[in-house]
Amino acid sequence: MSQLTQLLNSGNESSWRDTLFSLARQQGFDQVLYGVVGSRHAKLESAFLQSNYSSSWRDRYDADLLHYVDPTVSHCMKSTLPIVWEPETFNAAPRQREFYEEACGHGIRSGVTFPIHGPNGEFGVVSFASDMLPDKREAANAMAGLALIRDYAFESSMRFVMPPAELAAVERPRLTRRELEVLNWVMVGKSSWEISKITNCSEATVNFHIANVRQKFGVSTRQQALVKAIGMGILTPEDPHR
């Protein structure tokens, strides 16, 4: 959790980028591409982009607008689920196979790409890549950790994407005392059932409070709500009330 929150506390793009790359390496991926635009209607070329892919591949990708060929991008535009990619992912068309062969030449052979769909229409992707062909079991085991990195990266990158005035205008949701209590227990990894026993209420009541919190933050998962709360200063990992 401490290094994840470093993303939220990074004062500049350089330290933010270094933290993101370090988190990816801990999950077994030495290459990362993170890109997000403020609206689904914005041109992808205008994205806030951070990557440690080789500069020659990035130049080629950008100059030839290869995001329009890349099947991981088209997947993310229409899905909220991650895509684990390998050679077979790029077999839909000859141009995709050529694209994959070129990527392999730059050390990008396999990986996982997560879509980003923000509550205000933001769209993006984060790809964790490797020069090794994937072990499906290892990839499955890494999914939860990678999804968490995605959530923290998206929330923390907004300071670099949104104009300062627009960012300052974002209102902090008002949470009830019980919603804060439940979210505190979510922060330390408790399940709904465990929280119900701790707070002496039903599991359905806990899920009701979590659903309200998700709605107030405009997100679809409890983890995303937690990241929002930490990012806005509503909760901290050292909160003494949990």
Structural domain boundaries of the chain?
A: 2-166, 172-231
Give yes or no on whether 2-166 and 172-231 have one common fold.
no
Q: Taking 60 as the threshold, does the pLDDT of residue 242 lie above it?
A: no
Q: What class has domain 2-166? A: alpha beta
Q: Taking 90 as the threshold, does the pLDDT of residue 142 lie above it?
A: no
CA 153 to centroid of chain Cα atoms: 5
The neighbour count for residue 172, using CB atoms within 10 Å, is 12
Q: What angle do CA 46, 145, 177 make, to 5 degrees?
A: 90
DSSP code of residue 239: -
Q: What is the pLDDT of residue 169?
A: 54
Give the residue-averaged pLDDT of 123-141.
81
H helix runs in the chain, sequence order = 2-9, 13-26, 55-63, 71-78, 94-104, 136-161, 164-168, 177-187, 192-199, 203-217, 222-231
Give the residue-averaged pLDDT of 193-220.
91
Q: What is the pLDDT of residue 62?
A: 87
Give the residue-averaged pLDDT of 89-96.
87
Burial (Cβ within 10 Å: 0-12, 13-18, ≥19) of residue 14: exposed
Q: What class has domain 172-231? A: mainly alpha
Q: What angle do CA 214, 220, 226 make, to 5 degrees?
A: 55
Q: What is the pLDDT of residue 10?
A: 84
Give the residue-averaged pLDDT of 214-223.
88
Q: Taking 60 as the threshold, does the pLDDT of residue 168 lie above it?
A: no
Q: The tokens 């309200």 sit on which residue? A: 212
Residue type, 5: T
Q: What does pTM read for this prediction?
A: 0.75
Give the residue-averaged pLDDT of 112-132.
89
Q: What is the pLDDT of residue 121?
A: 83
Q: Is residue 108 very low, low, confident or very high in pLDDT (cuts 50, 70, 90)?
A: very high
> Which range, of 23-27, 108-112, 166-170, 213-217, averages the lowest pLDDT?
166-170
